[in-house]
Amino acid sequence: MRKSRWLAGIAAAVSLAACAPVQSGPAQPAGDERTGQLRVWLFDEVNRAAKEKVVQEAVAEFQGKHQGVTVDVQYIQVQSRAERFKAAFSDPASAPDVAEFGNTDLAGYVSAGGLADISGEALNWEDVHDVLPAALDATKVDKKVYAIPWYIGVRALYYRTDVFTELGVKPPSTLDEIAPLARRIRAAKPDLLGISVGGKYTYGALPFVWGEGGELATSLNGKFTAAIDSPQAKAGVAKYTELLRDDICPPAQCAGNGGDASVEAFRAGKAAMTIGGDFNRRSVDASAAAGKYAVVPLPGKAPGVIAPAFGGGNLLGLLSGTKHRSLAFEFTQLLAGKQYQRKMFDAMGNLPTFSGLQRELADSVPAIKPFTDTLASGVKFVPNTPAWAKIDAQAVVPTMLQEVARGTKDVDAATKSAADAMNAAFGS
C-alpha cells in the first residue's frame, strides 16, 4: 500500500518535470543598435601584450569613429575555448558580438547555430577579393560566409644548417628522400633525432597524405566519406609513420608528441629536422637552434613540387545573437583589414591572409618566403563539416598514427579502423 503510494508520488513528480532535455531557443537574429558596448572575444596568447597593444590601437581608432560606442575585449583561453563557445551559444545573453576562433572550429559552430551568416556584407567588401582563396574557402559552409580570415598558418620543413653542412647533405627534394636522409643523419649523430615528428602531430602528417595524392575524406553532395584508407592515403600514412622508428624518431620518445613537442625537440637542439609553422619561427629564433637553421617548403612527391600544407589559421566572426550587427561587422573589417593584419604581423609574426600583403612581406622578410611559397602552391583543409570536430576530439588520426608507430596495427588495419571511425562520425 504505502509502497505503491510512494511510487505514484514519484511517477507524478517525474511527469511534472520536463520529459526531454533542455534546449535553449535558437539565438534571435537580433538587432542593429548603433550605440552601446560591443563585446569581443580574442584568444589569449603566450605573448599577449604584443597582441593587446595592436588590438587596443584598433579599439581606439574604432571608438574615435563611432560616438557612444565602447569596445570590451576579453581574452579567452585557447584550451577551454570549446566550453566557452558552447556556453555562449546556449546562452546568447552572455555571448560576445565578435569572436576569434580557429578555422577548424567553424563548421561545428555553424551547425550549432552560433554564427551569423555574413555573406552579404563580406562579399560586398572590396578587399575580400584579395584574400587567398584557400583562406576564404575555410570561412564558408554550404557556400555561405561566416567569418573573415584574420591570419593564416602553414608548416614547412625546418632543418639545421650546421648539421647539414657538417655531413655534406642537402635538404630533401621529395617526400621519399626524407626518411633515408633522416636515418643517415641519426646514424652519424645518434644524439639527434633524424627528424622530430610526433604520433599526435596530425597537421605534420597530413602533407604526407596529401603529397601522395590521398585525401582524408571525399564529399559528394555534402555527404562525406572517409578516404584515409585509399591506396594513396595509405602510402602517405606509411611514409609519415616510417619516420616514427628507432632509427629516426624513436616511438618511445616521439609517439606521444604533438606539434609543439615536436618543435620543442628541434628548439632544444636535439633534432636535425622538424615540421614547424611560420608561427614557430620566433620561438626557434630564441632557442638553441637560433642562427643555425633554415626553412624550406616540405617537398612533394616529385622534385620541385611542394606537398600541400594544412591551411590553418584564425578567423573573426559575428555571433548570431549580436545586437550590434553593423558595428560588429565594421569592427571585424577593421581588425581583419590589411592595415591591422600588417600590424599583427609586425607584432606577432602572424601571416596575413591577403595575397598582395604576403608578397610584399616576403620581399622584405625573406624568412617567411618558404611559408608564402607553400601558401602560393596551394594549401588544403580538413573536411569542412561539424563531424570533423568530433573526429578531432576522438583523436582518430593520432590513434591511427600511434597504432602504426607502436606496431599494434599495420598501415592497412590502422587506416581501416580510422576510416570506420570517421564514417561513423560523418554518418551521425
190 binds other proteins (CB under 8 A): no
**Applying CB under 8 A, does 406 fall inside the site for other proteins?**
yes
Say if residues 273 and 182 touch (Cβ distance below 8 Å): yes
Please, which residue, 74 or 408, has the CB nearer to other proteins?
408
Binding mask 233-252 for other proteins (x = CB under 8 A): ------------------xx
| Residue 25 sits in the site that holds other proteins (CB under 8 A) | yes
- Indicate whether 153 belongs to the interface with other proteins (CB under 8 A): no
DSSP state of 309: E
Q: Provide the CB-side half-sphere exposure for 5 (13 A, CA).
A: 2
Report the residue number, 20 or 49, with the smaller CB distance to other proteins.
20
Binding to other proteins by residue 423, rule CB under 8 A?
Answer: no
Q: 348 Cβ partners below 8 Å, 6+ apart?
A: 45, 47, 50, 51, 54
Q: Which of 112, 167, 238, 365 binds other proteins (CB under 8 A)?
A: 112
Q: Is 253 in the site for other proteins (CB under 8 A)?
A: yes
For the bound state, the minimum distance from the C-beta of residue 321 to other proteins, rounded and expressed in Å, comes to 10
Q: Does 98 bind other proteins (CB under 8 A)?
A: no
Tell me the C-alpha distance between 63 and 327, whole Å. 11
What is the smallest separation between the CB atom of 79 and other proteins, expressed in angstroms?
A: 12
- The 10 Å Cβ neighbour count of residue 76 is 19
**169 vs 395, beta carbon nearer other proteins:** 395
* 287 near other proteins (CB under 8 A): no
List the 293-296 sheet strands across, edge first. 273-277, 155-160, 293-296
Binders of other proteins among residues 61 to 90 (CB under 8 A) are 82, 86, 89-90
| Part in contact with other proteins (CB under 8 A); list of ranges 97-105, 142-150, 342-350, 398-406 | 398-406
Q: Find the shortest distance in angstroms from Cβ 356 to other proteins.
A: 37
Write the secondary structure of 120-178 as one string of H (helix), E (strand) and C (coil). Answer: HHHHHCHHHHHECHHHHHCCEECCEECCEEEEEECEEEEEEHHHHHHHCCCCCCCHHHH
User: What's the rounded Cα separation, in Å, for the pair 113 and 386?
Assistant: 11
Q: How far is the CB of 257 from other proteins (least distance, A)?
A: 9
Site for other proteins in 194-233 (CB under 8 A): 199-200
Grid cell for residue 10: 514519484
Taking CB under 8 A as the binding criterion, the range among 179-187, 205-213, 361-369, 399-407 that sits at the site for other proteins is: 399-407
* Least gap, CB of 108 to other proteins (angstroms): 7
Sign of the torsion formed by the C-alpha atoms of 294, 311, 394 and 109: positive
Q: Which whole-number Å values give the CA distances from 72 to 75, 90, 118, 371, 386, in the listed order?
A: 10, 21, 22, 34, 29
Q: Considering only 11-19, 152-160, 340-348, 374-382, which stretch makes contact with other proteins by CB under 8 A?
A: 11-19
Find the binding residues for other proteins in span 372-391 (CB under 8 A). 386, 389-390
Look at residues 287, 300, 33, 73 and name the one whose alpha carbon lies nearest to residue 160. Answer: 287
Work out which of 174, 225, 377, 399 binds other proteins, going by CB under 8 A.
399
CA gap 85, 417 in Å, rounded: 31
- 408 DSSP assignment: S
- The smaller minimum CB distance to other proteins, of residues 258 and 378, is found at 258
Q: Examine residue 255 and tell whether it contacts other proteins (CB under 8 A).
A: yes
What's the min distance (Å) between Cβ of 120 and other proteins?
A: 21
In the complex, the smallest distance separating the C-beta of residue 381 from other proteins, rounded to whole angstroms, is: 20
HSE, CB side, 13 Å, CA atoms: give it for residue 112: 25
Window of 13-21, 127-135, 157-165, 298-306 that interacts with other proteins by CB under 8 A: 13-21
User: In what helix (H) or strand (E) does residue 292 lie, and over which residues does it extend?
Assistant: none
- Site size toward other proteins (CB under 8 A) is 44
> Which residues neighbour 132 within 8 Å (Cβ) at sequence distance 6 or greater?
149, 152, 353, 354, 355, 358, 375
- What's the min distance (Å) between Cβ of 266 and other proteins? 15
Q: Are 243 and 182 in contact (CB under 8 A)?
A: yes
Q: Residue 16, interface with other proteins (CB under 8 A)?
A: no
Question: Is there binding between residue 23 and other proteins (CB under 8 A)?
Answer: yes
- In angstroms, the Cα distances linking 40 to 53, 120, 325 are 15, 21, 13
Question: Which of residues 21, 64, 222, 304 is near other proteins by CB under 8 A?
Answer: 21
CA dist., res. 353 & res. 351, Å (int): 7
- Which residues are near other proteins by CB under 8 A? 1-2, 14, 17, 19-27, 82, 86, 89-90, 108, 111-114, 199-200, 251-253, 255-256, 386, 389-390, 393-395, 398-399, 402-403, 405-406, 408, 425, 428
